[in-house]
Structure 1
Amino acid sequence: MRHTPSYLLTDPDEVRRLIRGNPWATIVSPASGLVASHYPFLLEEPAEGEDPGDGISLVSHVGRPDEEAHELGRHEVLVIIQGPHGYVSPGWYPPDQFIPTWNHVTAHLWGTPEILSDEENFAVLFRLVDHFEQRMPHPVSLQIDEERARGIARGTVGIRVRVRRFDARAKLSQDKGPAVIESVISALRAPGPYENPALAAEMVREHGEPNPQRSAPQDPSADRGED
């Protein structure tokens, strides 16, 4: 990603939060040419009371023959986590600011995948289903027919990616003044073509809740554009 120090996200806990909330990821491998696939990833959480430290570990699975297409286990891969993102209209800025931008929270994570055993793979698949089903009023589990589920699991390959390094960004209008930031948050929350409450929530985490009594900016020169 472009080197933008003011947007760097360096806290491993914040990267973990991003992964938990946005499990659908892209895997990119430098195999025979670039290869990309898309799968859900889960964060391996530390045991209760255990200090997670700076380490980040992910588990997932790929459908055969993606493990060969990516040459998994033979080299490092890039896992891209895309958090909330969206268009920011200059209509939410003072009149003389007319350059739009795109706010986002994104993490790039590198590591060499470990191929899981069949039993570990099934445990990951079991956990994936339970993780996403827990929000349903009547959760469905692989326990309904474990023998059949194990048969289907043989068409997949489980992987663990211990993240060796990451490069993350939270680009959330840090280059703008308070009044503009609050205008953007309010616009993202309002009904319309670019309504985006998830992105608004990320901006609130970064900047705090808007002050409803704050007036519009009178001195646009105080804000500098930086995409």
Structure 2
Amino acid sequence: MRRTPHFLLEDTLEVKRLIRENPWATLVSHTAHGLVASHYPIVLEETADDEISIVSHVGRPDETSHELGRHELLVIVQGPHGYVSPAWYPADQIIPTWNHVTAHLYGTPEILSDDENFRVLTDLVDHFERRMPEPVSLALDEEGSRRVARGTVGIRLRVTRFDARLKLSQNKAPEVAERIIGALEGDGPYAHPALADEMRRVHRPTDEGTA
């Protein structure tokens, strides 16, 4: 990604937040046969603050297509993003942009054993089902669930480096940023409340909460 100083995200805890809130990721491998991309849910593991570890799974034969475990894997996590119209800028500023929150995670994945893969799959289902009024668990039919799990391969990615961006109009004057946030929170054609929330995080007054 373009390395614009205004937009660099170097805080590991913020990258972890991005992963927690946006678990649908793109996996990209540079294989002997060219580039391969797939899309799967990921779950953040609890680790030290300065470490990032994620677990996921792929459906067979994606583990072969990606040559998993043989080289570095790129995992792309995309947070809220959307069009920013120059109609929200002062009259002399006419170039639109696209605001976004994005992280590129790198590491060589570890292939999980069948038992650990099933544990990860169980945790994955539990992670998303906990919001449901009557959560469903793989434990309701463990034997059948294990049969289905044999069609998947579990992976753990301990992130060795990341490249992340918060491009949220940090280069605009506070009153312009506030106008953009207001438009995103409105009911216009490019309304995007989640993106507005991300902007408020970075444009929060520095003296907020002080006397």
Instruction: Tell me the TM-score normalised to structure 1 length.
Output: 0.88
Is 2:113 aligned against 1:117? yes
Which SS does the other structure have where 2:70 is aligned? coil
Aligned pairs for 1:197-212 (under 5 A) are 197-208=193-204
Query: 1:138 Cα shift?
Result: 1.2
Q: Which runs of 4+ in 1 moved over 4 A?
A: none
Contact 2:13 2:49 in 1 (8 A): no
Gap regions ≥5 residues in structure 2: 206-211
- Give the letter for the 1:6 counterpart: H
C-alpha distance in structure 1 between counterparts of 2:89 and 2:188, whole Å: 16
- Residue 65 of structure 2, aligned match among 63, 66, 69: 69
Aligned pairs for 1:42-191 (under 5 A) are 42-46=43-47, 52-191=48-187
Gap regions ≥5 residues in structure 1: 47-51, 210-227
Which SS does the other structure have where 2:131 is aligned? coil
Contact 2:111 2:155 in 1 (8 A): yes
Which SS does the other structure have where 2:118 is aligned? helix
C-alpha distance in structure 2 between counterparts of 1:178 and 1:155, whole Å: 52
* Aligned residues with identical type, % of pairs: 71
Instruction: Tell me the TM-score normalised to structure 2 length.
Output: 0.95
How many residues end up aligned between the 2 structures?
204
* Post-superposition CA distance 1:202-225 (Å, at most 9, x none): 00000027xxxxxxxxxxxxxxxx
* Post-superposition CA distance 1:174-197 (Å, at most 9, x none): 110011000000000001211111
Q: Residue 194 of structure 1 corresponds to which residue in structure 2? A: 190
- Give the letter for the 2:35 counterpart: L
C-alpha distance in structure 1 between counterparts of 2:189 and 2:9, whole Å: 28
Task: Report the aligned-residue RMSD.
Answer: 0.8
Which SS does the other structure have where 1:107 is aligned? strand
Q: Residue 49 of structure 1 corresponds to which residue in structure 2? A: none
Query: 1:94 Cα shift?
Result: 1.3
C-alpha distance in structure 2 between counterparts of 1:99 and 1:90, whole Å: 6
Q: Residue 34 of structure 2 corresponds to which residue in structure 1? A: 33
